[in-house]
Structures are given as C-alpha cells and as structure tokens.
Amino acid sequence: MRRQSSFGKVMIGLVVFAAPALAQDAIDPSPELADALAGRPYSPYADRAFPTEVYFGDTHVHTALSADAGGGGTRLLPRDAYRFARGDQVTSNTGQPVKLSRPFDFYMITDHSDGMGAITDIIGGAPNIMADPQGKKFNEAFNAGGEEALRAAQELVGLFANGQLSDELNYQPGNPAYKRAWDDIVAAAEEFNEPGTFTTFIAYEWTSLVEGNNLHRNVIFRDGPERAGQIVPYTTTAPVGSPNPRDLWTWLQNYEDTVGGDVLAIPHNGNLSNGMMFAMQDDFAEGAPLDSDYAAQRSKWERLYEATQIKGDGEAHPLLSPEDEFADFETWDYGNLDASVEKTPDMLPAEYARSGLQRGLMLEEKLGVNPFKFGLVGASDTHTGLTTPDNDNFFGKFTAYEPSPERATHVSKTYADGSVALNAWQYITAGLTAVWAEENTRGALFDAMERREAYATTGPRMRVRFFGGWDFSEDDTQRRDLALIGYSKGVPMGSDLTDGPDGKAPSFLVYALRDPMGANLDRIQIVKGWLDVDGNPQERVYDVAWSGDRQPGADGKLPAVGDTVDLSIPSWTNTIGSSELGSVWIDPDFDPDLKAFYYARVIEIPTPRWTAYDRARFDLDLPEDIPLKGQERAYTSPIWYGPED
C-alpha cells in the first residue's frame, strides 16, 4: 500500500549536560510520575543509545602517490586532498580553482598498495628507474603530460594487470621509498583528523588484478598511527604479497592479532571483474567449489560493498533485472579494467550488488554461512585527489578529464582491435558513503560500518532511514520520533530478522529526506531478493512511497514523475516530487520458510548530468547519444530474513 508521509527531520544531534550526582538525586521523579510514564522519560531525546546523525564521506580516494594517478598528471598529494575534502579551495591538477559546495564529514586516502612510492622516482628519473627500459619509457611519457601521460598510465595498469611490469617499477615492502610513502600517508591522516568535525582514516587499496580483472579492496583501519603505523600495506605481488583475497584476509587477521587493532576491507565495485567478484567457485584454486572457511572469512572481513563510484553504478543490470525500469543507471559493461577481455552476459551475475546478494543466499544454503552478506556504500575512486559528487562541479576521474571542452567526446579505452570500449562521457560523478553513527569519530564511524548501518548514494546527501520488524503499523508513519520507533520496534539497515509471530509478515519502516541543496524525491522502492522453494534466486521491486497523486497502472508500474530540467541553464525546479517520503510496508508475498533480503532504493526527480553543464559552460554541440540528465539515487544496506533452524 502506498503512503506518502511528512516525517520531519527528527535525526538531530544530542548534547547531554551532566549534573552533579547530589542534584540528580534531589530531582528524581516521583513514583507516581514514573508509573504514569510507564518507566520511560517524558523527553523522547533522553537516554537514547542509538545513532542520531548521519555523516557523509568518501572511502576510496587516490592522490599523486598512486602510480596511475601521478603518472597521468595528478600532482595533488594527501594533504591537498584532505584540505579540499574539509572545505578549503585548492588548485586542481590542471590549474583550475576548485571547491566543494560543502565539506565532507569523513575521508579516506586509499592509494594503491603495489608500487607505493614508485611514481615519484619514475617522474623524477631516479637512477634505478632510468637504468630500466620500461622505467625510462614511462619517465619520458609521464613528463610529456597530456594525452601521452594518460595513455602511459593506462599502459602501466595493463602491464601490472598481466604480470608484465618490471620489478624495478613495482615497489614492494622492503624498499625504503615504499616505507617513506606509507609513513607520509599515515602522518597526513593523523595531521588532518579532527574528531567531531572532520574524521580521516588510515587506509590503502589492495590492488589485486587477475589478467585485467578488477578485484581491488580498500583496507580501512579503525586505528591511529600507534597501531597502523607498525605495518606497511599488504600487496598483490609474490613473494611478499598475493592477489588471492584469502591471503588478504589472513593478513587482516594477523594485523589484528599482532597489534590489537581493528580493520575491514571494502571490495571495489565488481563491474570490471569479468565475473570474478561474486564467483560461485574459487577462481584461485582452479575453479574448486567454495568452502565454509571462504564463506566465514569473507563474511567477517568484507561487511560492506562499493555499489557505486565514478566507474559506473553497480547496483543492478538491465539484463539481470528486466522488470526493473530503473536498473539501467550509468551501467558499465564493456569488459575488464584494461579492456583486454570483452564482457559476456554470463559474467554479469557475479558483478552486481543485487545478484551478489542473491548468490549469497544460495551459498548459505550449501555452506551454512553467507559470504556475500554486505551493506552498500558509495565512493569516488577519483585519481585526481578531488572527490566531486555534484554534477555541476565534476572534476573527472583522471587529470586528463578535469573540465575542458574536449573531455566529453574523448575516447577513454579501446579494445585490442582499436574499437571503442569506453567513452569519457560514461564516467559519472562520485558516489558517497552515508553512515549512521553516534559521533563523527574514527571509532564511531568504523563501528557503524562494521555493523553495516550505512548506505550508498550516487552523490546527493539524502537522509535515509530503513528499519525492519514485525510490529510496525501505519500509525508509525505519523510519528515525529521516527528513530525511536524504528530502534524500539525493529532493527536498522544491515541487520537480521529471525522468525516472527505465526502468521505475520515482516514490516518495514522507511523514510527519506531530500538533500537540502538538491532535488526533490520521486519515490522510495523496496527491493526484495529471495530463494524460491527450488533454491532459485528471485527478485521483485515494490514502489512503497511516491510523490504526487500518481497511481500504478494495470501493469503495476507507477507513472514517471515528470521532468523539469532546463538544459539551456542547465537547472531544474522542485515543482514536482516531494521533499520527504515515508511508508510502512508489509511484504505481501512473504513465505516464512524462505530466506530473503530487503533494501530500500530512493530515487530523485530528473536533474542535469555533468555533461549538460559542460555543454552549457563550454557552448558545445554534443552528439545525441551522450546523456544530459538522469535520476540520482540512494541504496540502503539490506535487512536479511532467515527462518531459525
């Protein structure tokens, strides 16, 4: 049933003032008052032990210390990136002034593990580099700049992906330059960490590439330099490192056991993995079946998944979800990272978040543990040191794609035969990670990410709540204390629901408030995935709240919200859509014997894409196949249902 509600902005911060113990004793409520309030305080904001604020940030950022970034012309270093992320104006790699519309709450520099520190020596022409044929070649290309540097950076990635990069260029632990680069990353994170205002995390990207198939993971530390500074990043190059995720998980466990720290890994979105991200077999053991140890380790260490970033959106694919009219959003399906192998349809189920969640249910039936039980987050994967999630302020993926009249029509990647694999206009603005936490500190944010109380957006800062339980009612949509109702009667996003009362279906309380500087909301949907009685994966998308007086048609589909985009400016008006939407939805197709997951998807009204801003600001006549608008969105972490054994 559709319900449009006017939930207020109830998720506000809480300040507690401590009173002397004697004074507190003197003003205890009388027994009669306590009885009248049924043991609960009159103030709905007192004694709250749940997150009351959402924080926005980026979990995937590269600076000039990453070889493919620095080689391609990026000169911004970690301290520059932190200054930009906290709201300062900086000068971009192409000499342009750039500033965010508003600061981020938290930020993570994740420069590549392999080759860390090498790019400085390559560009600077260190003697060991110039004595190596590849090193001399890359030194000349990177110093040439522009298109030559971009192509050289892509070539370097391809050589690394296929194990053909010279050892002299692939710095590893034990190399003094490697340790110096890591020490500087750690020091910069500590220097810019301002608990309560702007939180930085020590992090890196473990850069596993299997013949061009992207299996990267971002490794995030809860800890400061007193622990994270005791180690150097784990790499993917033997004999020091390994491209096998199992070996990374062993390294993570060893880190925690050795230094007493806390760490997690977030997989890169899987659309460039060519079927390896959510494989049903162990591709590192000649295709052997996955075992329970694999499932347990992946479930422990990889509790979040990067569902959207600059290199395309990874929630769903139209070939996998043909009934979902919103599944084809900024889809990338040309092949693997270096375009050395083209995509085939059989690879797709192992590359997208929704099908990955379905596969997790399937593997849980066999292994007893769900290896793909992840929450959803967004990120940039910028290689400019600049995270720019707003379409009117997009500074590209690489330095070559910072604002210019030529960038939208540039060919980014080609196949071996010279045909186009990827056009530059297909890059999208950065996604963001939203985290519900008690405070803006490393500990609180990290703990919230570990419990998966986080969600992804494609750039806008929508506030989204999602709870599941057995007793939510329509009356709850009229309450102003939404979070109190959600936590007291159910569980938040990222959690589990077990057997409920006989004859009851689960109910879900969902609410979304638009980005205060952004577009109105079109609708809220709940995506359900489950295994049928034969163990086959199924899915369905339900419209549960929407703007206006629209009614579903005979096919059950809700009419489009409309379009107010004016491409001549470009801009839009919020004369359609709603500033907030909410609903209590009860699963009409619930079977208590079948495992399932549920997550909410919030969709904005149409707004201009970055290509539309380029078109207007540079007075361009762009080809008709370049899209100029789209509908940004958010994806919550799922809630899983499973019958008790």
Band (pLDDT 50/70/90 cuts) for residue 645 is low
Q: Is the separation of the CB atoms in 423 and 439 below 8 Å? A: no
* 493 and 441 belong to one structural domain: no
The answer for 528, left when phi > 0, alpha when psi is -120 to 50, beta otherwise, is beta
* 441 and 499 belong to one structural domain: no
Amino acid at 397: K
pLDDT at 45 (0 to 100): 83
* 237 and 309 belong to one structural domain: yes
- % residues pLDDT > 70 (the chain): 96
Domain-located, residue 49: no
* 270 and 211 belong to one structural domain: yes
Q: Is the pLDDT of residue 1 over 50?
A: no
pLDDT at 190 (0 to 100): 98
Provide CB contacts within 8 A for 411, sequence distance 6+. 420, 422, 423, 424
Count how many domains the chain has: 2
Residue 625, both tokens: 């196949």
Q: Is the pLDDT of residue 600 over 70?
A: yes
Structural domain ending residue among the three candidates 429, 447, 465 = 447
pTM (2 d.p.):
0.93
Domain-located, residue 482: no
* 182 and 62 belong to one structural domain: yes
* 432 and 524 belong to one structural domain: no
Buried b (16+ CB within 10 A) or exposed e, 558-592: beebeebbeeeebebeeebbbbbbbbbbbbeebee
* 496 and 443 belong to one structural domain: no
- % residues pLDDT > 90 (the chain): 86
What is the rounded CA–CA span in Å between residue 532 and residue 375? 23
Domain-located, residue 478: no
* 431 and 559 belong to one structural domain: no
* 430 and 504 belong to one structural domain: no
Domain-located, residue 435: yes
Provide CB contacts within 8 A for 188, sequence distance 6+. 77, 78, 79, 82, 109, 200
What is the rounded CA–CA span in Å between residue 134 and residue 166? 7
Amino acid at 194: E
Provide CB contacts within 8 A for 43, sequence distance 6+. none
Structural domain ending residue among the three candidates 395, 422, 447 = 447
pLDDT at 21 (0 to 100): 43
Domain-located, residue 283: yes
Q: Is the pLDDT of residue 504 over 50?
A: yes
DSSP assignments along 34-81, one per residue:
HHHTTTS-SSTTTT--S--EEEEEES-B--TTSHHHHHTT----HHHH
Q: Whole-number mean pLDDT of the chain?
A: 93
Q: Is the pLDDT of residue 642 over 70?
A: yes
pLDDT digits (tens, 9 = 90+) for 446-479: 999 999 999 999 999 999 999 999 999 999 988 8
* 78 and 222 belong to one structural domain: yes
* 519 and 377 belong to one structural domain: no
pLDDT at 262 (0 to 100): 98
Q: Is the pLDDT of residue 23 over 80?
A: no
Starting at the edge strand found earlier in the chain, the sheet holding 304-309 runs 312-313, 304-309, 375-378
pLDDT at 15 (0 to 100): 35
Question: What mean pLDDT do residues 69-95 have?
Answer: 96
Q: Is the pLDDT of residue 34 over 80?
A: no
Band (pLDDT 50/70/90 cuts) for residue 507 is very high
Q: Is the pLDDT of residue 309 over 90?
A: yes
Band (pLDDT 50/70/90 cuts) for residue 25 is low
Helix (H, G, I), strand (E, B) or coil at 123: helix
Band (pLDDT 50/70/90 cuts) for residue 500 is confident
Q: Is the pLDDT of residue 56 over 80?
A: yes
Q: Is the pLDDT of residue 525 over 70?
A: yes
pLDDT at 8 (0 to 100): 37
Domain-located, residue 33: no
pLDDT digits (tens, 9 = 90+) for 126-182: 999 999 999 999 999 999 988 898 888 888 888 888 889 999 999 999 999 999 999
- In total, the chain counts a number of residues equal to 645
Domain-located, residue 20: no
Q: Is the pLDDT of residue 4 over 70?
A: no
Tell me the residue range of the domain where 537 lies.
489-641
Amino acid at 57: G
Q: Is the pLDDT of residue 24 over 60?
A: no
* 438 and 548 belong to one structural domain: no
pLDDT at 364 (0 to 100): 97
Question: What mean pLDDT do residues 545-562 have?
Answer: 96
Higher per-residue pLDDT: 23 or 438: 438
Domain-located, residue 299: yes
